[in-house]
Amino acid sequence: ANYFSKFSKAPVICKLVGRKVLDGVGQPTLEVEIYCTVKNYEKRICSIVMASHSQTPENALPETTEADEKERNDSVHTAVEWVNESLTTMLRDLESTDQCQADKTLGEYFANKVEEKKEIQKREEEEAAKVTPAPASCPPTPVPKQKKGGKPVKKVLVEENPIPPAEPAEPVLCGSLAIGGTSLAIAKAGATISHVPLYLYIALLKHGQKPPKEMTLPLPMVTLLNCEKNLPTKLKLVKEVMLIPPVELSLKQGIERIQDIQKEMTRLLESSGKMPGPQADSKKGKSQSSGKKAPPPFLKRISHLGCLTTGYDNLEQLLLLMQKSCKNIGLELGTDVYLAINCAAHELMDYERGKYEILTGTFKSPEEMVPMYMEMINNFPFIIALIDPLRKEDREQWSSICCALGSKCYLIAEDAATHISKLKTDQNINIAVCSGVVLKYINETKVSDLIELTGILDGQRHITILGSPDGESLDESLVDLAVGLGARFLKLGGLSRGERVAKYNRLLAIEEELAANGTLREAKLEFIDFAGESQPEEQLPDVLPAPEQD
């Protein structure tokens, strides 16, 4: 029976099912199920759940948050319709292993939807223009002119601080989750039908069906602390503190080491009274504690990133506590474990002053940020990665910081990187110089997009980091994508919350499997020396449009 089954017709997609489900933080997201016709029977093959991603900052106004939630609900509702109606019809009878054709069909469908949206917007603008002859006479009224003329000081301030304005957020088409969800579900179905794990299936797609002799696991960036920027503490420069285990350890040993540090860090925070939660509440009777603890009743002991939430008044205070927690259990930062810091600089910019607010009331211009980071890395060499140390608009400073620190520290763009779809299709693409980019599998991103883009980044000596969005789900496919694509790092959050721990468990399972097969290769930490390169910023755009030429 097994012999003759090899000659049977290849399984083909017969039905897609989309449904609205909840992610790890209770937000609506999309689940896509794949059904195939296998030996003349309809059979459910697999399903995936997309992670939700919000561009709304932590300190957003309630109205902005409400609008974002409504937009998310509408997008999921539209995505479910697309999957159950149009995409099911278009992809029916397609072989589940034909990822290239599936992604091509999805790309064309999405491009048509984008054009439809543009036409609707154009018609709405034309109709609005017809009805607005009266408002056209409003601008000459003296009120706005008096405002502009009456405050010449503001004009002078703008001229004195000529920082590049913030680029508008990438528009997200309502329903785009359906494209990414369907692409990933088809890849997972193809792996299931081919009887290979998803990470190997992705690697085969990337390398033209040539099986890799060895595979390297991405190093985990495990979030230990989440320093929310709306806390009453002064330090604003640090959003996340992450631990990276050394390459000499197995992943299992590295995770265990980080767990030990987390336990000791928790103990130190509780003993110092900085830990939010019941421990902090019990101390409210003390005069010293009640004054400090009154403002943040919103604090959670574990944040949505699966790590401890706390705040500090300066960077040295934070890093010295990190050193102490490691020293207490016989470890040394920079040897036994490394540090990465997510600065999220785009959330620090005060546009009126044209400066970053690194501490409450302390501001630095983009030019002053570079020597500050140089001093930080020189004083604390165990920091081997900075994520978003600057906004993406500060290109000159990105170039300067890479030349100064690129040989001893990874300078990574997360928010500072352009959207995946734009990175791949825009002919005039030009992102700031950096060591690597955090890629997130969200919205209309397709599996073939990631394969193509990681190939380009590999060719440019840029490292790839696959990142977990804020609203994660229990789906573990992100880990298989990272392993199959050969990512250098994997940014999953902390070692708490089921949706995050599930991914670490999947990574441990893949390590066991590769070790048993004798195909596991040790990872390497190699920095990029930008100082020796001439005009590094000019080189990236020349290569990124290559997919269009191919």
Q: Is the pLDDT of residue 280 over 60?
A: no
When mean pLDDT is compared across 128-142, 274-288, 396-410, the lowest value belongs to 274-288
Instruction: Select the highest-mean-pLDDT range: 290-294, 459-463, 541-545.
Output: 459-463
The answer to whether 148 and 412 are in contact (CB under 8 A) is no
Instruction: Select the highest-mean-pLDDT range: 59-73, 166-180, 363-377.
Output: 363-377
What are the backbone dihedrals phi and psi of residue 452, each rounded to the nearest 5 degrees, phi first?
-65, -45
Give the pLDDT mean for 302-318: 90
Q: Name the pLDDT band for 106 (thresholds 50, 70, 90).
A: very high
Higher pLDDT, 408 or 56: 408
Q: Name the pLDDT band for 171 (thresholds 50, 70, 90).
A: confident
Number of CB atoms found within 10 A of residue 304's CB? 20
Give the pLDDT mean for 172-176: 92
Give the C-alpha separation, 13 to 44, whole Å.
10
Structure confidence at residue 278 (pLDDT): 42
Q: Residue 284 is encoded by which pair of tokens?
A: 């409210």
Mean pLDDT of the chain: 84
Give the C-alpha separation, 205 to 483, whole Å.
13
Q: Residue 241 is encoded by which pair of tokens?
A: 């503190």
Structure confidence at residue 547 (pLDDT): 39
The answer to whether 164 and 394 are in contact (CB under 8 A) is yes
User: DSSP secondary-structure letter at 286?
Assistant: S
Number of CB atoms found within 10 A of residue 183's CB? 26
Give the pLDDT mean for 203-209: 94
Q: Which of 59, 84, 443, 505 is catalytic?
A: 443
Q: Residue 270 is encoded by which pair of tokens?
A: 């509780």
Q: Is the pLDDT of residue 270 over 80?
A: yes
Structure confidence at residue 59 (pLDDT): 60
Higher pLDDT, 509 or 548: 509
When mean pLDDT is compared across 48-57, 186-195, 355-364, 450-459, the lowest value belongs to 48-57
Q: Name the pLDDT band for 172 (thresholds 50, 70, 90).
A: confident
Higher pLDDT, 534 or 447: 447
What pTM was estimated for this model as a whole? Answer: 0.85
Give the C-alpha separation, 189 to 48, whole Å.
10
pLDDT tens for 211-237 read: 999 999 999 999 999 987 777 888 999
pLDDT tens for 516-534 read: 999 999 888 888 887 765 3
Determine how β-strand 28-38 pairs with β-strand 12-22. antiparallel
Number of CB atoms found within 10 A of residue 96's CB? 29
When mean pLDDT is compared across 306-310, 340-344, 480-484, the lowest value belongs to 306-310
How far lies 504's CA from each of 201, 255, 291, in Å?
A: 20, 9, 39
Q: Is the pLDDT of residue 202 over 80?
A: yes
Q: Is the pLDDT of residue 127 over 50?
A: yes
Determine how β-strand 308-309 pairs with β-strand 219-226. parallel
Structure confidence at residue 57 (pLDDT): 61
Structure confidence at residue 458 (pLDDT): 84
How far lies 358's CA from each of 314, 318, 350, 400, in Å?
A: 9, 14, 10, 19
Structure confidence at residue 289 (pLDDT): 42
Q: Name the pLDDT band for 366 (thresholds 50, 70, 90).
A: very high
Question: Hey, is 116 helix, strand or coil?
Answer: helix
What's domain 200-270+300-517's superfamily in CATH?
A: Enolase-like C-terminal domain (3.20.20.120)
**Secondary structure element (H or E) that encloses residue 186, with its range:** helix 177-194
What are the backbone dihedrals phi and psi of residue 137, each rounded to the nearest 5 degrees, phi first?
-85, -5
Give the C-alpha separation, 371 to 389, whole Å.
12
Respond yes or no: is residue 378 known to be catalytic.
Answer: no
Structure confidence at residue 425 (pLDDT): 52
Task: List the Cα angle 81/84/85 in 5-degree steps.
Answer: 80
What residue spans define the domains of the chain? 12-120+173-195, 200-270+300-517
Q: Which residues face 387 on adjacent strands?
A: 342, 412
Structure confidence at residue 303 (pLDDT): 87
Question: What architecture (CATH level 2) is domain 12-120+173-195?
Answer: 2-Layer Sandwich (3.30)
**Secondary structure element (H or E) that encloses residue 34, with its range:** strand 28-38
